[in-house]
Structure 1
């Protein structure tokens, strides 16, 4: 009876959450997995922006691009941050874009932002990596401020002092409890950091881990009211494409993924100036990362490429 009640409660909350999430076809047909197997491996595309996903203004670029790779067994997830300035071949898009070389975050703009932008970005990434995706989400990171505040803030560890170019606030080395405004401000910084945008990518990965840690610490499952508030706030910050998989089934499949099972990965690459424009270019074609993703050998690749792996 307890198990039945738990499942019934989860379905009730999932239904409420499901109604708050916007749904769109975010994946280009060429980038979409034909049939998602929830036993894994799974590959999801997360596109973050400071603007709401429903904003149709075409003059916008994706602020954050992550590939989430979950190997079979669903006990680990690799958060692969794609450099926003990575030089790539962008295919023609439905917004009248004829295709060409550009920074990868421009694909979202060339596609018209929103659904069209996500489709062109997914097609670009699929061409680059050889992956097909099991789903995608447009994430309003600014909207996550409410989620973080509902969780009571998150603990973020600052490794290098940095002054915010947005607020002037100074983040000093050490671990600090941050509210939503502070945490989101911190993870947007990249100037005056030793690793520049690579450090920003790492900090965004850290924030996702910190949010999962905090969710576990606050015992959300034992507080249905708080859980409902958090789920609805998360749902209001997302536009999703689950590739036809019911959201309830997806949540059930990944519910036991531990927070310490998250691994941060950076794409092997380096900065380069081309015709007086700053880009990031792949290091030796990505140093085998994309092949490892396709062949389900990421754990071995990570062990052999510690330089590009970060502890979250």
Structure 2
């Protein structure tokens, strides 16, 4: 098969299940980070009855190459608090998420997974539980086989412009800005290469 057109949506819980099915993920932690949400054993930290935030011991992610379990990887990429070691807040969190996705791609297509039928079956089953997928007649397995040579350096990551809705206690969520509609139009019309040449700001340059 020369070409695949597909779309997939997976939530953070799905990422955690896939990482655990792979036996964890190896990634580089760019600076020491403390968790706002988890204790060192993975249990959730307790809410602070005397103010904002949480109380209790914090899980820590040390700078350097680390092997993370599913809950650790998910927890790490959720951190956005300057006091816990992420000085650039949302931008830092987005960068960590991009780094995690690339590490996950490398692990998913590593020999340790693709040549191990039992582990590969676990990964596919874990993805299937949390994955919304449309492969235009091709299954997730078809994709896994055809893309087995993919590595993170071959993956193009796109960041879509968005903004929060509401402020403070009236916060209601996030929404895409109108410029994102142009991206999806170009994608639908198979004009994405030309669109990205005109709009390089959509390319994610984070490493």
Bin the TM-score by the shorter chain: 0.5 to 0.7
Residue 186 (structure 1) shift: 0.8
Structure 2 counterpart of 1:289: 183
Structure 2 counterpart of 1:301: 195
Q: 1:158/1:238 Cα in 2 relative to 1: closer, same or farther (>3 Å)?
A: same
Task: Compare the two structures and name the one with the higher helix fraction.
Answer: 2
SS at match of 1:237: helix
SS at match of 1:236: helix
**Alignment TM-score, normalising by the size of structure 2:** 0.65
| Alignment map for 1:115-154 (pairs within 5 Å) | 140-149=14-23, 153-154=25-26
SS at match of 2:158: strand
User: Alignment length, in residue pairs?
Assistant: 178
Residue 170 (1) aligns with residue 65 (2): no
The partner residue of 1:237 within 102, 126, 140 is 126
Residue 262 (1) aligns with residue 155 (2): yes
> Structure 2: how far apart are the matches of 1:44 and 1:273?
30
> Structure 2: how far apart are the matches of 1:247 and 1:171?
32
> Structure 2: how far apart are the matches of 1:287 and 1:247?
27
Task: Compare the two structures and name the one with the higher strand fraction.
Answer: 1
> Is the 1:148–1:154 Cα contact (8 Å) retained in structure 2?
no
Q: 1:145/1:265 Cα in 2 relative to 1: closer, same or farther (>3 Å)?
A: same
Residue 307 (structure 1) shift: 5.9
> Structure 2: how far apart are the matches of 1:206 and 1:255?
20
Q: 1:244/1:217 Cα in 2 relative to 1: closer, same or farther (>3 Å)?
A: closer
Q: 1:235/1:250 Cα in 2 relative to 1: closer, same or farther (>3 Å)?
A: closer
> Is the 1:156–1:183 Cα contact (8 Å) retained in structure 2?
no
> Is the 2:107–2:113 Cα contact (8 Å) retained in structure 1?
no
> Is the 2:160–2:202 Cα contact (8 Å) retained in structure 1?
no
Q: 1:265/1:247 Cα in 2 relative to 1: closer, same or farther (>3 Å)?
A: closer
The partner residue of 2:106 within 200, 213, 218 is 213
Q: 1:308/1:246 Cα in 2 relative to 1: closer, same or farther (>3 Å)?
A: closer
Residue 143 (structure 1) shift: 1.6
CA root-mean-square deviation: 3.4
SS at match of 1:266: coil
| Structure 1, gaps ≥5 residues long | 1-37, 51-139
